[in-house]
């Protein structure tokens, strides 16, 4: 099949055709999928044998989670100056450098420690409000993990500033601190699964993918994904995501049809068939009645027509009267004509014709042909005037 050739032992199939008789046509992989010779290999956003459907969930396992802790420490061995308020000034740069170096030493035992960022400097000697930036590999219970690290950070900074007091203000390190002023204000985990979800969905479908938490884990899903609060219930139908949004394709079972936006209406097939049957029966009866009427009126027309024809025939058989002659072929009215009015009229006419025939002398009869209408039937009648 499909242009394959027999080489004496087996079928040699054209590219992408398969089967021992080349009967398997290549699947046309859609949406950027590629044919690997056996099946379509779809891109991450599609599935199905031809990559025809959009997946209903995307894995979002963020690589990293970052968190920032708001801290305040009081540096005792530095004098505050107005220049420190200018972040571009050399004073600030120098202070920043020393401070960062000191913090790197303090937090050296914490691998998740990334850096510090000074947010505000105020006098006294120098009160440093800063963020400690933490970065951790994503694990399912990342929140708990970050909290653990934050505890470690707090311990470290408290221990470091306590040492200063214990050292009795003889500052041997880069910076010395007043422990009583050390405060840990806030920890915020900066991690946005929504953003990752939208990014992975691509711009065509971004608006239909969203994050719902299940078992405290972010899931990037569409409404076609079953088992979530936002799931679209298609009532036994199939949910498919299209560019316009999720859509239900309804099911038809042996006994029922489902319809509606979420296939919420079910119609019993037997009911529909019953209704159709009833309507059909009514239509059939109507047709039969109509047919009877048509046949009857046709027969009536035919009867009238045959009457006229017979009359006409009577006139034509003799070729019509030639000028100056008159013949009466007599009335040979067939048995079919039972209309008494007609019979009467004709016998009357017959009598009159006979009378006229008797009276004919040497006259010049004129013949005129006129069309008359009998019961809707046009027929021409010859009239002879003496």
Ligand X SMILES: *[C@@H]1O[C@H](CO)[C@@H](O)[C@H](O)[C@H]1NC(C)=O
Is residue 86 a contact residue for ligand X (CB under 6 A)?
yes
We find the least distance from the C-beta atom of residue 181 to ligand X, in angstroms, to be 5
- Residue with smaller CB distance to ligand X, 82 or 358: 82
- Residue with smaller CB distance to ligand X, 76 or 222: 76
Stretch that binds ligand X, among 176-184, 213-221, 267-275, 341-349 (CB under 6 A): 176-184
Stretch that binds ligand X, among 81-89, 229-237, 301-309, 349-357 (CB under 6 A): 81-89
Is residue 184 a contact residue for ligand X (CB under 6 A)?
no
Interface with ligand X (CB under 6 A), residue from 97, 144, 216, 316: 97
- Residue with smaller CB distance to ligand X, 53 or 102: 102
Is residue 173 a contact residue for ligand X (CB under 6 A)?
no
Residues 224, 238: contact at Cβ < 8 Å? Answer: no
- Residue with smaller CB distance to ligand X, 52 or 163: 163
Instruction: Give the distance, in angstroms, between the CA of residue 270 and the centroid of all CA atoms in the same chain.
Output: 29
3-state secondary structure of 249: strand
Residues with Cβ within 8 Å of 185's Cβ and at least 6 positions away in sequence, in order, are 70, 71, 72
Stretch that binds ligand X, among 38-46, 48-56, 84-92, 233-241 (CB under 6 A): 84-92
CA distances to 76, 120, 206, 287 from 72, in Å: 13, 9, 40, 96
Residues with Cβ within 8 Å of 251's Cβ and at least 6 positions away in sequence, in order, are 235, 236, 237, 238, 258, 263
Residues 156, 107: contact at Cβ < 8 Å? Answer: yes
Is residue 119 a contact residue for ligand X (CB under 6 A)?
yes
The per-residue b/e assignment along 255-267, b for 16 or more CB within 10 angstroms, e otherwise, is: ebbbeeebbeebe
- Residue with smaller CB distance to ligand X, 86 or 357: 86
Q: Which residues of the chain form contacts with ligand X (CB under 6 A)?
A: 76, 86-89, 96-97, 100, 117, 119, 131, 155, 159, 169, 178, 180-181, 185-186, 188
């Amino acid at each position: 099949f499909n242009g394959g050739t027999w080489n004496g032992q087996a079928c040699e199939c054209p590219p992408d055709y398969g089967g021992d008789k080349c009967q398997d046509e290549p699947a046309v992989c859609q949406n950027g999928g590629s044919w690997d010779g056996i099946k379509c290999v779809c891109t991450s956003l599609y599935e199905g044998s031809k990559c025809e459907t959009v997946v209903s969930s995307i894995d979002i396992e963020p690589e990293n989670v970052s968190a920032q802790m708001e801290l305040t420490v009081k540096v005792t061995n530095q004098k505050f100056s107005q220049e420190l308020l200018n972040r571009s000034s050399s004073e600030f740069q120098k202070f920043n450098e020393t401070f960062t170096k000191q913090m790197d030493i303090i937090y050296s035992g914490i691998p998740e420690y990334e850096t510090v960022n000074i947010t505000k400097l105020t006098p006294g000697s120098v009160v440093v409000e800063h963020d400690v930036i933490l970065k951790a590999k994503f694990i399912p219970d990342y929140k708990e993990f970050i909290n653990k690290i934050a505890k470690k950070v707090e311990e470290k900074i408290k221990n470091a500033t306590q040492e200063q007091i214990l050292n009795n203000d003889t500052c041997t390190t880069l910076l010395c601190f007043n422990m009583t002023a050390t405060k840990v204000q806030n920890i915020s985990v900066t991690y946005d699964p929504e953003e990752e979800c939208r990014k992975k969905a691509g711009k065509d479908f971004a608006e239909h993918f969203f994050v719902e938490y299940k078992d405290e884990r972010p899931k990037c899903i569409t409404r076609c994904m079953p088992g979530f609060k936002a799931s679209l219930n298609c009532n036994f139908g199939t949910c498919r995501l299209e560019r316009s949004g999720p859509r239900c394709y309804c099911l038809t079972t042996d006994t029922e049809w489902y319809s509606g936006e979420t296939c919420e209406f079910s119609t019993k097939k037997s009911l529909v068939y019953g209704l159709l049957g009833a309507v059909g029966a009514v239509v059939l009866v109507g047709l039969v009645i109509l047919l009877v009427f048509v046949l009857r009126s046709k027969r009536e027309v035919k009867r009238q027509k045959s009457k006229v024809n017979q009359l006409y025939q009577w006139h034509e058989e003799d070729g019509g009267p030639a000028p100056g002659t008159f013949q009466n072929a007599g009335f040979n009215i067939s048995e079919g004509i039972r209309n008494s009015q007609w019979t009467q009229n004709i016998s009357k006419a017959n009598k009159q014709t006979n009378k006229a025939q008797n009276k004919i002398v040497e006259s010049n009869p004129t013949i005129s042909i006129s069309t008359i209408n009998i019961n809707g039937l046009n027929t021409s009648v010859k009239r002879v005037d003496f």
